[in-house]
Copies of this chain bind each other. A is one copy, B any other.
Amino acid sequence: MTSQALYEQILRKQSFLCVGLDSDITKLPAHLLSLPEPLYSFNRAIIDATAAYAVAFKPNVAFYEAHGASGWAQLEKTVQYIRQSYPEMFIIADAKRGDVGHTSRLYAEAFFKTMDVDAVTLSPYMGRDSVQPFLEYGGKWAVLLALTSNASSADFETLPLAGGRKLYETVLETSSAWGTEDNIMYVVGATRAEMLAEIRKIIPRHFLLVPGIGAQGGDLQEVVKYGLNEQVGLLVNSSREIIFADRSPHFAQTAAAKARLFVDLFKSLC
């Protein structure tokens, strides 16, 4: 998918919502736990309920990997289900991978060929050759961690470098030359909304994937104020606040209502 196609879909749906499928088995509605594939069953219901209000789904791979091969199988089925039922949807595997080039090539294969998602989150620590294999797939995206929303992002990400820039700023500056606005986007934690203006000076045209709306703090109004660009340029992720808003048998309807709020917010803010 190109950034233009993603932009058009955002306009069509009047939403920049990305629903995070952080399907933690310990938080699932109790009545699903006896099913043979509880994560997949939960995801299907959430996907059907929220697809009208979202442009992207983002399964976080950790929640599937915790169950080993059976978890992976449910992740694969989830991606297939989205692909078949909502072919226009942008699918991000939140995997935070990265390895030396000849090994990253295999991760790219795992997510872009075996699984066929649109985008994968990657750690930038090892540099260009760890990212390059993901950029060689037409229409696919690398989503690089720049400034994350956790408290420990101050350990390294915001350290000042000798030249005056912070590490995450240099990550943005250096890595944006590795690809284009059509195959690289960045994770920028919304708890740092005041930094978004600075970030937009470095990468005015890239899409940003913004986690941390809700449970992790963050203020959507600030994000829009400082982060919006000509193509909207924002995917705003919400996970727990939508998918675990209700653990009763009516969880999917509640998730739909929570997701719909983002459409209202989009209309009022953008």
Residues of A whose CB lies within 8 Å of any CB of B are: 22, 24, 60, 62-63, 65-73, 76, 94, 96-101, 103-104, 106-107, 109-110, 114-115, 123-130, 145, 148-157, 159-162, 164, 167, 170-171, 174-175, 216
Q: Of the candidates B62, B106, B216, which one forms a contact with A107 in the assembled complex, judged by CB atoms under 8 Å apart?
A: B62
Asked if B68 contacts A125 (CB within 8 A), the reply is no
Closest B residue by C-beta to A126: B148
> What are 22 A-to-B residue pairs whose CB atoms are below 8 Å?
A60-B99, A60-B103, A62-B99, A62-B110, A63-B106, A68-B76, A68-B115, A71-B110, A98-B123, A100-B148, A123-B125, A124-B125, A124-B155, A124-B156, A125-B148, A126-B148, A126-B152, A126-B156, A127-B151, A127-B155, A127-B156, A160-B161
Chain B residues near A94 (CB-CB < 8 A)? 99
CB-CB under 8 A for A152 and B170, given A76-B69, A123-B98, A123-B125: no
